[in-house]
Chain A
Amino acid sequence: MPPIPVSAWLDPDWVRFIEGGVSITVASRDAANVPTLSKGYGCRVLDGDRGVRILVVGSQSMELLRDIETGGAVAAVFAEVGTHRALQLKGTDARVEMADAEDREHARRYCEGFSRNLVALGFAPGLLQGFFEYAADDLRVVAFVPVEAFLQTPGPKAGSKIGSAP
């Protein structure tokens, strides 16, 4: 059965949300179910059944990339800093790819947008500088077709499923 595109079941508002200047964290686990995680540097939602591409910095994400290559299990949380609005996507077919030119451009724009949001919230300049420093050729892509989405905004509905591939 071919994978079902995320746009077929996830609200377009949420699609825009995960592509925007929100904080991103990606997690996987090894064969012994030891979890690991790393920060994301942008997320692209592609047309059709091509799924999502989350950018990570390879040298910061060695365990994560190893676990994804061997197991394919992935969870990614997207959170708007300052409002706690958050969404988690899960997938089972994740793979690691090199970043292409479009991915690198997306990461660059993501860093601009996210740092603008952080500046507006009063975060320290040193933090911003440190956080957004990476070598462009160090970017890797965690690509997967999401099968489930969960609301992560704190509250009574936190953790509830807001969509899944039919």
Chain B
Amino acid sequence: MSTTLDAIRACLDGAIPAVIATCAPDGTPNVAYASQVEIVDCDHVALSFQFFNKTHQNVLAHPLATVLVIHPQTAARYRLYLRFERTETEGALFQRMKARLAGIASHTGMSGVFRLLGADIYRVLRIERIDAPERRRQDAERNLLPAVRLLTQRIAAATDMDALFEQTLDGLDRHFGVGHAMILLCDRARTRLYTVASRGYAASGVGSEIPFGAGIVGVVAQYRTSIRINHKAAEYAYGRAVREAALGEGAADALETAIPFPGLAEPGSQLAVPVEAGGELLGVLYAESAQDLRFSHDDEDALGAVAAALGVVVRALRDEAESEEAAEASAPAAPAADVEPVTVRRYRRDNSIFLGDDYLIKGVAGAILWRLLSGYVQDGRVDYSNRELRLDPAIGLPDVVDNLEARLILLAKRLSERADWLGIDKTGRGRFRLRVARPVQLVEHAAG
């Protein structure tokens, strides 16, 4: 049986750089290091093209190249006989390689030197194993299939979205040993993502936002491709990404920057995979670690499988929440009369909400809360359905497929973090109740 690319992918993780030999038309060989060899499909690889060097020049004239790779644990060596096909300078593969290269560059002190000009695509003609002696297999090698099975089972069993997110993050921690992770969902109308759940951070960061195209998470959403970075990559860190995006944006639809993104300041490894279902991008599942080289090809596949299960269940629960079940009627508990009222302010321009002097949230979640509090102050109303909020013009949901259920989870979490007297509780499928334990005074500001 001939060796397949999948069988040697540990060799392509960059722990030991690959070497590429090419030949000029006059027969002069050339040998050079390749920063990155990326698997494209079962019979293609892509090499990073960073400088207009001899390798690139040679394959344009004479397309045959041979790459030597070494297994990082066993030292098994393989030669890949390749034929150059084309160079890609944009698209998902290019972005994936650009992000990985940024990590490689910063790890090796080559930031500002390594810059991806293109992804050179080669067909794999033949893979040859060089040294015959059978090496010991590494007992320590992890098998991720049991973890994938356990976690996808927990995901499939979730009956509401809040539990779904908790199960997913808890499972990543327990079954995969991924202690820092978050789930972000799409606000497609405003081409950004908002954090709906996280695990492993001092502050949850629920409600923080990141625009499409910014940072690893934003690039994953924009190109709908998974990205794995094995070393620190400042270019893909959240802080810089958001600063740059915020600078290039008008004030009216400004990013949520008051709630900080929960990520590690300098992750050594990052892995982000798109969460999709039915051809629709729903969000991004993101994992990170302080350690370098934490995530392998296998981790990327495993997280991809988890994200696929997550996507299907997110979509099902979102759609289900739109079909309300009968309301269970109950009288709201009246707030104690002898308690000082809280002033809740809304700034109409961006729907930002302040509880007393404390900022809570803005945007769609802010508009929802204002609508609920207005109903409460005017009519004493506390019970609502998702559907009526969806149809309410005062809230102005971005589009029909927006994930209202997830917005309510975000709002409920943000409230539980910031106020002990105000909350949102789920009361049934597509139904929830506002919980108010203090008298409320609403003040609206038209400007600012």
Where the two chains meet, the residues of A that have a C-beta atom closer than 8 Å to any C-beta of B are 25-29, 33-39, 59-60, 71, 73-77, 79, 82-84, 86, 88, 90, 123-124, 126-131, 133, 150, 152, 154-156, 158-159
| Option from A60, A77, A131 in Cβ contact (under 8 Å) with B33 | A77
Q: Is the interface of A mostly helix, strand, loop or mixed?
A: mixed
Interface centre among B16, B23, B50, B68 (most CB of A within 10 A): B23
Determine if B73 and A75 form an interchain contact, defined as CB atoms under 8 angstroms apart.
no
8 Å CB interface, B89-145 against A: 108-110, 113-114, 130-133, 135-136, 138
The residue in chain B whose Cβ has the minimal distance to the Cβ of A127 is B75
| Complex Cα spacing A90 to B132, Å | 29
- Do B32 and A34 touch across chains, with their CB atoms under 8 A apart? no
The CA-CA distance from A77 to B35 in the complex, in Å, is: 15
Contact A129 B51 (CB under 8 A): no
Q: Which residues of B contact A (CB under 8 A)?
A: 15-17, 19, 21-23, 25, 27-33, 35, 50-51, 53-54, 62, 64-66, 68, 70-77, 79, 81, 108-110, 113-114, 130-133, 135-136, 138
Q: Are the C-beta atoms of B75 and A88 separated by less than 8 Å?
A: no
| Chain B: minimal CB distance from A91 (Å) | 10
A-B pairs, top 10 by smallest CB distance, nearest first, are A130-B75, A27-B21, A35-B21, A27-B31, A37-B21, A131-B75, A75-B29, A33-B23, A25-B19, A29-B23
> Residue on A with the closest CB to B51?
A158
- Which of B32, B64, B75 is within 8 Å of A77, CB to CB? B32
Question: Which residues of chain A are within 8 angstroms of B72 by Cβ–Cβ distance?
Answer: 123-124, 127
| A29 to B26 Cα, complex, angstroms | 11
Q: Is the CB of A127 within 8 A of B73?
A: yes
Q: Which of A75, A84, A126 contacts B108 (CB 8 A)?
A: A84
* Most B Cβ at <10 Å: residue of A28, A37, A74, A83: A37
Cross-chain contact of A88 among B30, B65, B76, B131 (Cβ < 8 A): B30
- Give 17 CB contacts A-B under 8 Å: A25-B68, A26-B31, A29-B21, A35-B22, A37-B66, A37-B79, A39-B70, A39-B77, A71-B27, A74-B29, A76-B31, A77-B33, A79-B17, A150-B54, A154-B51, A154-B114, A159-B53
